[in-house]
Amino acid sequence: EDVIIPAKGAEAKKEGGKGGRPQRRGGNRRDRKSDEEQFEERVVSISRVTKVVKGGKKLSFRAVVVVGNGNGKIGVGCSKAAEVITAVQKAVIDAKKNMITPPMNKDASVPHEVTCKFKACNIHLTPASQGSGVKAGGATRTVLELAGYKNVSAKQLGSGNLLNNARCTIKALTELESPEEHAARRNMTVSELFGKRDARAEVAMHLSA
């Protein structure tokens, strides 16, 4: 019997498709695009700034943008450019480069109180019960909402600068600790940590009675 041996080009065409080229591994491009699209961007402020140079004054725009996925990731970016659109795009890139993942409890709130100072801004975050909502204003509210917090109270003191308030809120979120992190810092387990708290509470109630 005659044995038919297929040509190399035919095999390559069957394996790779047109022209005998191997198939490219680009099937996950849509997935990567969808991952990028899930981030929400909010422009906090756009201001016109002037820089004095040798030839005169140079005008540009400064954009402050908050980027978050509403599920624990948040970032603040600031950038300047000659056009507003370019400044916003560069600020979004800057925000995505400086993303953080702060802890969040089961009530979608901060795990504990925290007070933070950044330049002339002061932020105090307090946990809130389920259904309380986000009680904050300005750039602080934008940061907390895009981070995914649903129940939290924030008090803002000092300067009303939107950029500094946003960065102060980010700094406060970085200082939060989950129960696991707090227990690990004290060389304890979570059960030991909460067990000691319960014991102290019982002693305090007994003494007050």
Please give the domain boundaries of the chain with CATH numbers for all domains.
Answer: 39-176 (3.30.230.10)
> pLDDT tens digits, residue range 17-76?
555 555 555 555 555 555 555 899 999 999 999 999 888 999 999 999 999 999 999 999
Region 76-94: mean pLDDT is 97
Residue 181 has what pLDDT? 80
Could you tell me if 105 and 125 are in contact, meaning their C-beta atoms sit under 8 angstroms apart? no
Of the pLDDT bands very low, low, confident and very high (cuts 50, 70, 90), residue 150 is very high
More confident residue, 207 or 168: 168
Residue showing tokens 């005998």: 20
The identity of residue 72, as a single letter, is G
Q: What is the pLDDT of residue 203?
A: 43
Q: What is the mean pLDDT of residues 91-103?
A: 96
As a whole number of angstroms, the distance between CA 97 and CA 91 comes to: 10
Name the token pair of 165: 């308030």
Segment among 31-35, 137-141, 167-171, 201-205 with least mean pLDDT: 201-205
At residue 199, the 3 state secondary structure works out as helix
How far out from the chain centre does Cα 73 lie? 3
What is the overall mean pLDDT for the chain? Answer: 83
Is the pLDDT at 205 greater than 50? The verdict is no
95-112 mean pLDDT: 94
Examine the pLDDT at 105 and tell me if it is beyond 80.
Answer: yes
d(CA 172, CA 153): 13
pTM higher than 0.85, yes or no?
A: no
